[in-house]
Amino acid sequence: MRKHYLDNIKWTVQILVVLYHLFFMYASSEISIPSVYGQITKEPFVFGDICQYAVYPWFMTVLFIVSGITSKIYLDDHTDKEFVKSRTTKFLVPSTLGILAFGYVQGYLNMALSEGAFDSVKELPAIVKYLIMCVSGTGVLWFLQVLWVLSIVLVIVRKIEKGHLWKVCSKTNIVILFLLAVPFYGAGLILNAPVITVYRMGLYGIAFFSGYFIFSHEEVIERIKRYLPLFAVSAAATGILFCVINYGENYATAPVNRTIVYAFFAYYMSVTVLAFAAKFMDFRTDFTSWMSKRSFGLYVFHYLGLSAVAVFIAGKFDLPAVVIYILSAISAFGGALLLNAIISRIPFFRFAILGIKKEKVRKDVKG
């Protein structure tokens, strides 16, 4: 039976990702976050700034946990070879071939938003400029790259543990579940990329594997549902503490993203979301089904719309900040859904950018 609450977590969190990037694009100058465009309001937009601190530590963490759970569900009915093939098509192809096929568009906009970027490459050959723009356009696709690596590691781990560890983890009690925040903190201290801070193999790795080995058990899900108030209070307490202590600091880099309060907030909020969704969001409607089918496209394309408004509207017209925010939101959501509808119907591009194979398209049409 399909776990609808996992689908609902995905598209709900994707909406938060879009809103986060909207506020990040125009972050206030009083916080030390290297925003993309810069502050557009006369006074610091405190609400938008706080929203960044309130979601950044956990919204990708919970997606890795969910990915670990869905990996277990998929592997229950498929072989390791089928798993690797499907993950390569869905994750690796869009984050490599897709970057070469379409990433230069986002890369161009990113360079347009970076002062002096075009001047720094004007003497380079055209092919080199193209490759630089492609790499610059990687953007949100880092998530797919990390997921693919973790999926390959999972196949290796499965061959070693042969299901024994997974069975043992079904006995994970509430005490261990609550204290699991400690190893999350430890994992967050290792395997962090030195420059591109989103590549955190330690933190996201433990999230992914805890999803596979621990939270894929119905018994465990029932336990966190029963103790939802405990995790919710813990999430609220650590979240408020994180925002109060670190407001104004760069939450995405060391030392802030290596702190105990960061890791604890990321873990407790992720478990809270998982428990809440399992308890109250395990349903399917026409709307949730529609959103679930488009959540991946929303994730892949939303930043393009945000960047386009920043470059071609905010950067050229003296408009009120509220108008810029509204246009950016419309462009992010509407543009992403429109591009997803177009690209998913174009041969090669639907495979290269969205990881949609031809037979999948035929199945969807027949369905």
Give 192's strand partners.
200
Region 111-131: what's the mean pLDDT? 89
pLDDT tens column, 208-247: 999 999 999 999 999 999 999 999 999 999 999 999 999 9
pLDDT tens column, 253-276: 999 999 999 999 999 999 999 999
Is the pLDDT at 186 greater than 90? The verdict is yes
Is the pLDDT at 71 greater than 90? The verdict is yes
In whole angstroms, what is the distance from residue 138 CA to residue 190 CA? 23
At 179, is the secondary structure helix, strand, or coil?
A: helix
The pTM for the full model equals 0.94
pLDDT of residue 336: 97
Q: What is the band of 35 on the pLDDT scale with cuts at 50, 70, 90? A: low
At 192, is the secondary structure helix, strand, or coil?
A: strand
Q: Rounded to the nearest 5°, which phi and psi values hold at 79?
A: -85, 165
pLDDT of residue 115: 80
Q: CB count, 10 Å around CB of 201?
A: 17
Give one DSSP letter per residue of 257-314, joined into a string.
Answer: GGSHHHHHHHHHHHHHHHHHHHHH-----HHHHHHHHHHHHHHHHHHHHHHHHIIIII
Q: What is the band of 365 on the pLDDT scale with cuts at 50, 70, 90? A: very low
pLDDT of residue 262: 98
Q: What percent of the chain has pLDDT over 70?
A: 97
**Joined tokens for residue 52:** 């960044």
Q: What is the band of 359 on the pLDDT scale with cuts at 50, 70, 90? A: low
Q: What is the band of 1 on the pLDDT scale with cuts at 50, 70, 90? A: low
In whole angstroms, what is the distance from residue 193 CA to residue 190 CA? 9
Q: Are 69 and 215 in contact (CB under 8 A)?
A: yes
Q: Are 321 and 343 in contact (CB under 8 A)?
A: no
Is the pLDDT at 367 greater than 50? The verdict is no
CA 346, 352, 358, 359 torsion-angle sign: negative
Span of 44-58, 106-120, 161-175, 292-306 with lowest mean pLDDT? 106-120
Mean pLDDT (the chain) is: 94
Query: Is omega for the bond preceding 94 within 30 degrees of 0, making it cis?
Result: no
Region 100-117: what's the mean pLDDT? 91
